[in-house]
Structure formats: structure tokens, C-alpha cells
Amino acid sequence: MDSTENGTEQGFSLLLDDQLCFALYAASRAVTNRYRPLLEALGLTYPQYLVMLVLWEHDTVPIKDIGAALQLDYGTLTPLIKRLESAGLVRRERRPDDERTVLVTLTGQGQELRERARTVPTDIGDAMGLSPAQFDQARRLLRLVTANVSASG
Amino acid sequence: MDSTENGTEQGFSLLLDDQLCFALYAASRAVTNRYRPLLEALGLTYPQYLVMLVLWEHDTVPIKDIGAALQLDYGTLTPLIKRLESAGLVRRERRPDDERTVLVTLTGQGQELRERARTVPTDIGDAMGLSPAQFDQARRLLRLVTANVSASG
DNA sequence: CGCAATTAGCTTGCACACAATGTAATCGCA
DNA sequence: TGCGATTACATTGTGTGCAAGCTAATTGCG
């Protein structure tokens, strides 16, 4: 029950509260939940919103590149993008000079949605309640963790 | 390009790389993926591992309390715990003095698994590659974000 | 005491995530 | 040029997450 005997040197115990991994997992879900009502008003889920972020930057992107940007595989992206297509936000078409590639392109509706989404990052950023310095530090640490655990299988 | 304020002061743009939320989401999945092979050797998924962490601390816990600890609802926990039961790691039984409550209890196998799981936090902790100070700071910032976005509406 | 409200849990439906497998198009090299 | 490897994507199956609706047990209030 006390923290005097706290594992080796860095809190590597089996206590739930010691786990950075759990803090990460819980924070990620809490933030996604915070997004939910805002994105629901736009007709998007959170992963769909991330795909739209990529498209709002580039307009036409192969599925492969979307997967590289978001670190998601085809099993996730294929049905997700088909739902975006059903919603009229994107168009899917094979690249003429390489029929293996599927290009995803914003429709007019997809472009218009960008305007309605402009305030979303600010709303969430405010809700996180971090100072600019904390915001940058958190982002830096998370990128470091991602890079480290992704390296060397 | 845009006459409206772009929120450059804290990265509140629509650029994917600016989003703390994406860094969080990507880091969480990357860490979970790093756990996968380690936990597979124990016959656990990552959320199942979290439930076991709670049980390794308390031995017998109502489902409600597991949900409170992990911030997961019954829709997630009911089938998950039934799978743990099928694997022989836990037992489920109604509390005699309040038949609404389901108590989850470790079996012998479930207790033995704790020994085999002892090295998991260390392995993951090492893979994250953070200094003790960074580890604590990351955990602190993540808890702050979780608390802030969970508060109010 | 009687009954409405609350509580704990279950079930269904939808949308991710990811592993494993399949397929068509393209590439590369003898 | 022929053909085996590679690439880009789709499909299937399993396991979460979460909302919404449901049941049964308990509580609380007149």
C-alpha cells in the first residue's frame, strides 16, 4: 500500500497506478471521449476525423500514405474510408498509371466540412488545460515514447 | 489564405503534426503493440492485462470497481471477464448479500500468472526509453490531461 | 407495507484495431 | 520475354470501446 518499496528504480511494479502505460491508455480514451460530441455534430468518429485531417492537408492521398501518416493498416482504413465515401465526404478511384493504388480525394462536401471543423482543435486544446509549455513538452515526450517503442521490434 | 485566427500560439491548427491528441493516440497504440508479444506469451490481451493488474492488487473485486479503476463500462468488461473465466484465470460469483453484484476472484492459475508477469512492466519501461524524470513528468502530464478533459462537460 | 426510483449487470449494434489470408497489378531479373 | 517476387489493397475473424436499451435486485419514501 505504500510507495517505499516501489519496484527497482523507476516504478516498474505491478501496481496499476505506477504504470505509465495505463496513464497513456486512459488519457487517450478520455480525450477521444471529449472529442465525441464535437465530432458527432460533424458526422465523424475520431479516427475518421484523423483521416480528414490528412485529406484537408493534401486533398488527394493514396490509402497507403494515409496509413503511413496515421500508423493504421488497411484492415482499419478500408472500411473506414468506405464509410467516409458513403457519407459523401470523399471519392475513391484507382490511379490510372497504377491500378493497385486507390486515391482518396475530398469531395466538395469534404472540403466544406473543414470550415466547420476549424474550432475543434481549439475546443479540445482548451479542455486539456495545459500551458503552452506543458503542451509542447507532452507532445515531445509522447513522440519520444512512440519512436522508442516502435524501434527495434 | 485565411483571415480567421489560426491559433498558432499553441498549435491549435488543423495540421496533423500539431495535434497533441494524435501524439497521444499514436503513442497509446504503439505502446499497446509493444506489449502484444509479451502478453501473448501469457495468453492475455492488453485490456485483459489491466484487469489482471487490478485483481493482482485486490484478489476479489466487484466488476463495478474494476470499471471504476480502469474507466471501462460493462459493455467492455462483461465479455472480457468472461474470456478470463474461460481461460481459467478468474471466477465470477454473485455476492450473497447483494445479488446484483458480481464478484471477480483470482483462481490459483490467475495468481500464478502474476509471477510470470513480473518482468513485463520492466521490459516495457525499458523500451519506452525515458529517464526517471521524464517518466514521472509524462505520467503527471497525462493524469492532468485525463482529469481536465474528464471534468465538466 | 407498497411501489417507484435506483443500482449492477447484461445484451445488442456499430466502429475501430490488428493478425492472417487472399488477389490483382506491377516490377525485376535471368 | 517469362515468371517469380513484390506491392497495394481487400476480406475475415477476434477483441475491444461505447451508446442505448433491457432485466433483476435493492432501496427509499409516503
pLDDT tens digits, B105-139: 999 999 999 999 999 999 999 999 999 999 999 99
Residue A65 DSSP class? H
CB–CB of A20 and B149 under 8 A? no
User: H or E element: which one contains A17?
Assistant: none
Do residues A114 and A56 touch, judged by C-beta distance below 8 A?
A: yes
CB–CB of B11 and A135 under 8 A? yes
CATH 1.10.10.10 fits B19-121, yes or no: yes
> Which tens digit of pLDDT belongs to each residue from B33-66?
999 999 999 999 999 999 999 999 999 999 999 9
CB–CB of B118 and A33 under 8 A? no
How many CB atoms lie under 10 A from the CB of residue B150?
15
Residue B118 Cα, gap to closest chain A Cα (Å): 7
Is residue A151 very low, low, confident or very high in pLDDT (cuts 50, 70, 90)?
Answer: confident
Q: What is the mean pLDDT of residues B91-97?
A: 96
Q: What is the mean pLDDT of residues A74-95?
A: 98
Residues of chain A positioned with their CB less than 8 A from the CB of B28: 24-25, 27-28
Buried b (16+ CB within 10 A) or exposed e, A81-109: beebeeeebbeeeeeeeeeeebbbebeee
Judge whether residue A83 has pLDDT over 90: yes
> What pLDDT is stored for residue A8 in this prediction?
43
Measured CA to CA, the distance from residue A66 to residue A146 in angstroms comes to 18
CB–CB of A8 and B122 under 8 A? yes
Residue A86 Cα, gap to closest chain B Cα (Å): 23
Is residue A12 very low, low, confident or very high in pLDDT (cuts 50, 70, 90)?
Answer: confident
Is residue B73 very low, low, confident or very high in pLDDT (cuts 50, 70, 90)?
Answer: very high
CB–CB of A24 and B28 under 8 A? yes
Do residues B53 and A14 touch, judged by C-beta distance below 8 A?
A: yes
Question: Which residue does chain A place closest to B66, by CA atoms?
Answer: A16
**Spatial distance from the CA of A75 to the C1' of D11 (Å):** 8
* Residues sharing a CB contact under 8 Å with residue B150, sequence separation 6 or more, in sequence order: A30, A34
Q: What percent of chain B has pLDDT over 90?
A: 90
Nucleotides of C under 7 A from a protein CB: 7-13, 15-20, 24-27
> What pLDDT is stored for residue B12 in this prediction?
86
> What pLDDT is stored for residue B60 in this prediction?
97
> Which tens digit of pLDDT belongs to each residue from A117-148?
999 999 999 999 999 999 999 999 999 999 99
Residue B151 Cα, gap to closest chain A Cα (Å): 9
CB–CB of B7 and A122 under 8 A? yes
**Spatial distance from the CA of A98 to the C1' of D4 (Å):** 20
Measured CA to CA, the distance from residue A111 to residue A132 in angstroms comes to 29
Domain edges within chain A:
17-127
Choose the mutation target among A18, A59, A149, A152 for the interface with B, i.e. most B CBs under 10 Å: A149
> Which tens digit of pLDDT belongs to each residue from A32-60?
999 999 999 999 999 999 999 999 999 99
Measured CA to CA, the distance from residue A79 to residue A69 in angstroms comes to 17
Is residue B5 very low, low, confident or very high in pLDDT (cuts 50, 70, 90)?
Answer: very low
Measured CA to CA, the distance from residue A53 to residue B17 in angstroms comes to 10
Beta partners for B92?
B104
Q: Using the CB atom, is residue B78 less than 7 Å from strand C?
A: yes
Q: Please state the φ and ψ torsions of residue A98, each to the nearest 5 degrees.
A: -155, 95
> What pLDDT is stored for residue B9 in this prediction?
53
Residue B65 region by backbone torsions, left for phi larger than 0, else alpha for psi between -120 and 50, else beta:
alpha
> What pLDDT is stored for residue B151 in this prediction?
85
**Spatial distance from the CA of B90 to the C1' of C10 (Å):** 19
Enter the CATH code of domain A17-127.
1.10.10.10
**Spatial distance from the CA of B81 to the C1' of D26 (Å):** 24
Query: Which residue carries 485486490 as its cell?
Result: B58
Nucleotides of D under 7 A from a protein CB: 7-13, 15-20, 24-27
> What pLDDT is stored for residue A125 in this prediction?
94
Measured CA to CA, the distance from residue B93 to residue B104 in angstroms comes to 7
> What pLDDT is stored for residue B1 in this prediction?
43
Measured CA to CA, the distance from residue B61 to residue B54 in angstroms comes to 8
Beta partners for A102?
A94
Q: Which of A70, A34, A52, A33 is nearest to A110 (CA)?
A: A52
Q: Which of B110, B95, B32, B28 is nearest to B65 (CA)?
A: B95
Q: What is the mean pLDDT of residues B25-29?
A: 98
Q: What percent of chain A has pLDDT over 90?
A: 89
Query: How many distinct helices (H) and strands (E) make up chain A?
Result: 7, 3
3-state helix, strand, coil in chain A (%, to 5): 65, 10, 25
The strand pair at A60-62 and A98-106 is best described as antiparallel
